[in-house]
Chains A and B, each alone.
Chain A
Amino acid sequence: MSISKAEKSYIQTGLLSAPPRRQDGRSLLDFRSIALETGVVPLANGSARLLIADGTEILAATKLQVQDGPLPQLTCTVTCSPAAYPHLSPAALDDVQADLTALLNGTLSRHRPDNLTILPGKKAWALHLDIIVLADAGNVCDALFMAARAALWDTRVPRTRGVEYKARKDSGFDMQTAPPDFELADYWDDGEVLGGRDTWPVSITLNIESSVHYLDAILQEEASTPLRLLLMYSFPGPILQGMRTIGSGDLSLPQIKALLADGEKYALELMQALNAKLSEEDVRRNQKARDRFEQRY
């Protein structure tokens, strides 16, 4: 998005004035309201839809597929709807998609949930995370990671058990091998949650405008800010899982150190809020749905 010099300067002056003024009346560290719903894609193993203030909209879904061989890596794919970026040419849109995919893959693919093995060394669930950006009204990175985290949190791994056909005891054969095949333990059961589902990182984007930084920029603000610092944190720890600078501005090392500490604080708050919402979603979809079903007459 390109904006005029006058608008750029207006936004920058607003951010730097005391008290800071932003277009929608938020303070520098306020997020817009975020709506999140899990379990929106019936055919996926886990899914989530995230909406930031009726603007940025993201749909994330995970799919598990049986694969031969040892435990494969998690693969993430980000697709941007052309409707979200009407001003971009198809080639430029491909580049945006590739960049977001590389960012998400680089951060998430190192995680190996511990319960994706079906038959050790032989068969495993390959976990695919596909995300669609339906609309972009700023801060798409933070939204991506939140949606990814929600979808992975929501993912259920089907329960399986090994199957083997043994010769009768008295036949003389000794069958002590591992089971060669598997079956689903229960077709109707959703399964168990992914291992380590609270260790997925959240991303926090610090938009840096000379001496101040602010969170959750809208498109106009993104266009007028020279530098963004992306931080991916996971808790407990905290552990930094990724860091990027984007833009033409520069920083000094002491500034980066201060921003890292600040970012950690914001990331923790975001993570706690997200966890609270996700647990609430779990209750809504299980406990409350069951209660409603019982009281239907």
Chain B
Amino acid sequence: MAQSGFDRRRINGPEESFPPIYGDDDIENSVWKLGMTRKGRNPNDIRPIFLQPGLITQANGSAYIETDKTKVACAIYGPRQSKNATYNENGRLNVEVKFAPYSCEQRKAPMRDAEDRSLAVAIHQALLPSVRLELLPKSTIDVFIVIIESDGIEGCIASGSVAASTALADAGIEMFGLAVACSAALVGEEIWLDPTAHEVQASTGSLILSTMPALGLVTSVWQNGQMRPEQVLKCLDLCQERCTEIHSIVAQALLDNVRLS
């Protein structure tokens, strides 16, 4: 354990450390049992979204999104000339995801790990079909996403995709449509939209749907865990419905931002 995530140029913490366990948190979670109704909201409700484009001034485009305990900042640099010399007819979309060390219950060592990579791949896939890369030969668009606070991987991917798409629009990069994403988890026989980390842990399967609601097209489906096909279909329908709502939030946030400046 000591070797992975070890960087001699940093001040490294003790070899082994444990996050504190808070008493009341434990009680709250242990009360919920499988088969009980969802705490705090209805199964089909998503958490309220706060979205602000253009927070990072030095970037070409940026966005900050907050859904309850998930907080994600995204900055876009580009389109700029690709560093590698090989000619490429299409532009390249480069997505990098970083967890802040204090973003999770357990401290994340400030080094790239496999989880960053899989999140970046998921967000890249959610954005890729929406961006008109064929108009940007020999160029690269860099998408940097920082997860300031995380409440489950699913929420991070969904919020990260929404933030990145908003930031791309803010940067004035041509797209077919805004790509927005919504997650769902199967808890018992119920489908809960926009699940938190605890809810995903209690679930048997989870799904993230990314769509371009303006065109009615799906850009990415990302499913893990065990679900029956009919449950998957139901999840897809519910997520798409919510994506339309999220789309109007994104569009409104972009409009407000333009009016202000």
Q: Which residues of A line the B interface, CB within 8 A?
A: 95, 98-99, 101-102, 106-107, 110, 229, 234, 237-253, 256-257, 260-261, 264
Contact = CB atoms under 8 A, between A and B. Distances in A.
Q: What 3 pairs between A and B have smallest CB-CB spacing?
A: A243-B223, A250-B217, A250-B129
Given A251-B217, A260-B233, A99 B117 contact: yes
B31 interface: no
Interface in B210-255: 211-212, 215-229, 232-233, 236-237, 240
Range of interface residues on chain B? 20 to 34
Nearest to A251: B218
Contacts, number: 86
A232 B211 CA distance: 22
B228 A102 contact: no
Contacts of A256: 218, 221, 236
A245 B218 CA distance: 10
A107 B236 contact: no
B226 A110 contact: yes
A98 B222 CA distance: 17
Nearest to B239: A253
Nearest to A239: B226
B126 to A, nearest CB: 9
A120 B219 CA distance: 46
Given A106-B224, A242-B224, A253 B118 contact: no
Given A250-B219, A257-B233, A240 B226 contact: yes
A260 B223 CA distance: 13
Given A240-B228, A248-B133, A260-B229, 8 more contacts: A98-B114, A229-B221, A237-B228, A240-B205, A243-B207, A245-B219, A260-B233, A261-B229
Which of A101, A234, A240: most chain B Cβ within 10 A? A240
Contact of B129 (A229, A242, A249): A249
B27 to A, nearest CB: 23
A252 B233 contact: no
Contacts of A257: 233, 236
B118 A98 contact: yes
B212 A245 contact: no
B125 interface: yes
7 contacts: A106-B224, A240-B227, A240-B232, A244-B222, A252-B218, A253-B237, A257-B233
B238 to A, nearest CB: 11
B121 interface: yes
A237 B228 CA distance: 7
Contact of B232 (A102, A243, A250, A251): A243
A149 B232 CA distance: 24
Interface string B115-128: 00110010001001
Contacts of A264: 229
A95 B117 contact: yes
Contacts of B207: 243
Contact of B117 (A98, A244, A251): A98
A107 B117 contact: no
A102 B115 CA distance: 8
B121 A248 contact: no
A130 B121 CA distance: 22
Nearest to B218: A251
B218 A110 contact: no
A197 B111 CA distance: 37
Contact of B240 (A102, A244, A253): A253
Contacts of B216: 252-253
Interface in B79-118: 114, 117-118
A245 B229 contact: no
A243 B217 contact: no
Contacts of A234: 226
Which of A101, A107, A242, A250: most chain B Cβ within 10 A? A250
